[in-house]
A and B are shown apart, each in its own frame.
Chain A
């Protein structure tokens, strides 16, 4: 079970959270004028890296806020958690 630092509440056990999948996926502004293929990429295509991954988490059993995290999918190291709108941190080299 991961230990996740909510940017508002501090470190909490994973069971308080819910993962919301990949982060930083922009909702197309002009969706009606893009192709089905492009829209499908937005809807369905997600990264599945073995390595650093930006992802969304919700402190569902806590403050109920959403935030972003930079997590390594193989080691589960969480390098950073940050509020929506904050600049996304660079992955470690």
Chain B
């Protein structure tokens, strides 16, 4: 046969035999066809062993044909384009695809972790919890080894070069699932005129019809699919999204979809994202998410060659692949017979159909009529073959179903199909908040009461025949459209083949084996996490009776497949073990995502520079050219210091500070928050939100204000300027600009609605250039000739307007350095012009730009606080020594009552002080260092306070610090100690001002 695989039929399937694709699996080269999945192409090439199991490293083969695959997890790609944890059953092959098994070392054929299987009695459920808890604190040593042993795939070795998109969409009806029910629903809704989005996780619509052989209207089912799609294509308002998984159902009918735009191409085309997440807000949702076949729990039910019956049927009908030459079929229900009959028709020898039921009914008779051997009332008691199925041992079931009766018959086979029934995929329904109901006949949960505007149709709703699926789909689509206000249109039902008479399934949650549970072959429930029936029973014996505890203890239902094949058998086994009913045990919570979603898709464009906007001042480019080192303050990028000729930070900062103290410094203060406040009640409003008074502030003057929260603690501070009778300009700290505005808006809109005040954020409308230092006035005089700069005419805490370098400007004589200082505010677009002009004019005065770090040193030398350094959300004005700013005479202000609370009046509260270190010490204390009286006391020591700001002060010639110390103002002169790693630093408590304590420079 051809190199495209010995197990490929000459005809049939939905693959394009003209388009051959060469791909690589674990380094070996294979050929498949366009339309193949990695799984189907591997099976066609006879590759049985594709993975090692998670815990025991047992050899594993492909078990399913869809999203539920627990075994065949692969990693795709290399270098930066890597995606782990993909199901081989969902990976579309393309030319050059390179895939590798995940959980094996050194290779899938010979895996050293296999030893775990032979010592598995030592590795029971909860093994990690029981073993690695001792000695205490050693977990970090164990974790490294355990993580290496647990094959989770590898991350990319560098940044992902691809783009990922997010898209928001609104529609009348979202249909999740494009099988017969979903197509019927979308068709009905769209025909009624509704705007419809139809999505399906596969590359083609059709769902179960892709892998089945049912006829609709006398033709192959896929012909009906093609016809329906063709009709819908001409409807005006339908979006059809293949390769798109609905992975999360959130509140208010928001459904998240992940569209794999370019995964099947290898690399995205130019301009194309790799994946796209859709946020769909739908008026109505129809879930048509299908059902997943359950494996039976029998001894050694994981041997490569063991596969779900429906999966084998899909590989046959959709891909033209037979998964073996001689198959045995083991079933609890009717559905496996279709697989047996179709495989037989394709030339596969059916060795036996082993049916748990004593009376297999119409399907059994049909199989027998075709010459198949049906062994009723029997079970597969054992599987022979370790790397691949070689034979099964069949035995009669005892009447109770819990034991075997009579002798065993050995049946040779290389493929073992099994079916334990079908579990409706209620994941999205459950995520939506819907309640589940247990259906005894199905042996599964089905949707009960919906919690959102939503319907279920098809096998996710418990419908198990094509006729039911189509009927439910048409009805759900029509009703959904009607609920959106459209006149319902119910398309006519197409003609279907007569259904075979159904025979109830026999749900046997643990199939008995030759030995008691746990003693013979492993009866896997959760194949991905290697959880067996014995593990679950033991957990129940150990007291894990809640299904949520059982999950966490045994890890059943965890992992990338989230228990799609295992959850129901696991809770049924728990129910049996605890004597409870299945609905009483209930399910674990279904959480998004339904299938794994890449981090790239989640992030979308919110990546790198787009993660968060960067805010630049108008002078940013100058700072960059000057070689500034930047620091983020919230979203603002601020120049921290300007190193010259490779200066280290402390050298640059000291130089900048010295210049600002001896000549003149220039500083970009544009980031300060600025709120324009207007209205007849502006002054009254400011009196209410600041501790001090602003209504009596004269026009032309500025005042520093403290803003409290209602609880009495400092919230923000800054200078507010009175621009006119009814017009103020408030400055906030850079980081608090937005919270302060929101707080003020809140108060005006919700509390003091009678006040006539308007607020406008103008933070970015003005550029601010600060000149500070002894020559600040001289420099300003070079820039302006229409402002009287005489200290008497322009005193501290006042402002003037005029032209600065020919630019209309507002000049504030305020200071955050403790030195003579002017802040020049101009329209933002003039900022860079003013900056250049000031630098040029300042050259003869030795002007030096200083950054944020120097600003901090300068303000700390003066003892000025910074909100967030000296305050921590539990700091009062009195703690800061600013009690004088609290105007108790005002009838009301925010925080007035809060300040009177008992705890805020305690005498031993921490108070702001300064700290000086011992002579000769050049190392500043670390900020946050705790201070104690006696460094020799036993741990835990009694804390006396903490360091809030700490710098080396070039002005003082020594490190300085601000600190909050219990009853600190009464302790000046005392020595406190900071116990630090490897040393203890002594510090003397001093007044929190190290520069110009009487304000001569400030007011000069």
Contact = CB atoms under 8 A, between A and B. Distances in A.
Interface of A: 1-3, 13, 18, 20, 27-28, 31-32, 34, 36, 39-40, 43, 56, 58, 60, 64-66, 75-76, 84-85
Contact of B742 (A28, A60, A85): A60
B896 A64 contact: no
A66 B251 contact: no
Nearest to B751: A27
Contacts of B433: 75
A25 to B, nearest CB: 10
Interface string B268-279: 000000000001
Contacts of B901: 36, 39-40
B251 A2 contact: yes
Contacts of A28: 897
List the 4 closest pairs (A to B, CB-CB), nearest first: A31-B897, A3-B252, A66-B749, A76-B251
24 contacts: A1-B250, A2-B251, A3-B252, A3-B253, A3-B281, A20-B746, A27-B710, A31-B896, A31-B897, A32-B897, A34-B897, A36-B901, A36-B902, A39-B898, A43-B711, A43-B898, A56-B750, A58-B745, A66-B746, A76-B251, A76-B252, A84-B750, A84-B753, A85-B753
B749 A13 contact: no
A84 B745 CA distance: 13
Contacts of B250: 1
Nearest to A66: B749
B519 interface: no
B252 A32 contact: no
Given A65-B749, A84-B749, A13 B896 contact: no
A3 to B, nearest CB: 4
A18 B746 CA distance: 12
Given A3-B252, A43-B711, A66 B745 contact: yes
Contact of B746 (A40, A43, A58): A58
Contact of A43 (B168, B281, B710, B749): B710
Nearest to B745: A64
B688 to A, nearest CB: 11
B988 interface: no
A17 to B, nearest CB: 12
Contact of B254 (A3, A31, A75, A84): A3
Given A27-B751, A43-B711, 13 more contacts: A1-B250, A3-B253, A32-B896, A39-B897, A39-B898, A56-B750, A58-B742, A58-B745, A66-B749, A66-B750, A75-B451, A76-B252, A84-B753
B922 interface: no
A84 B746 CA distance: 11
Contacts of A39: 897-898, 901
Contacts of B279: 1
Contacts of B750: 56, 66, 84
Contacts of A36: 901-902
Contacts of A3: 251-254, 281
A22 B709 CA distance: 17
Nearest to B709: A43
A34 B902 CA distance: 13
A84 B901 CA distance: 30
A32 B889 CA distance: 12
B281 to A, nearest CB: 6
B650 interface: no
B869 interface: no
A66 B433 CA distance: 29
Nearest to B897: A31
A4 to B, nearest CB: 9
Interface in B212-262: 250-254
Contact of A32 (B253, B900, B902): B900
Given A18-B742, A31-B896, A66-B745, A1 B711 contact: no
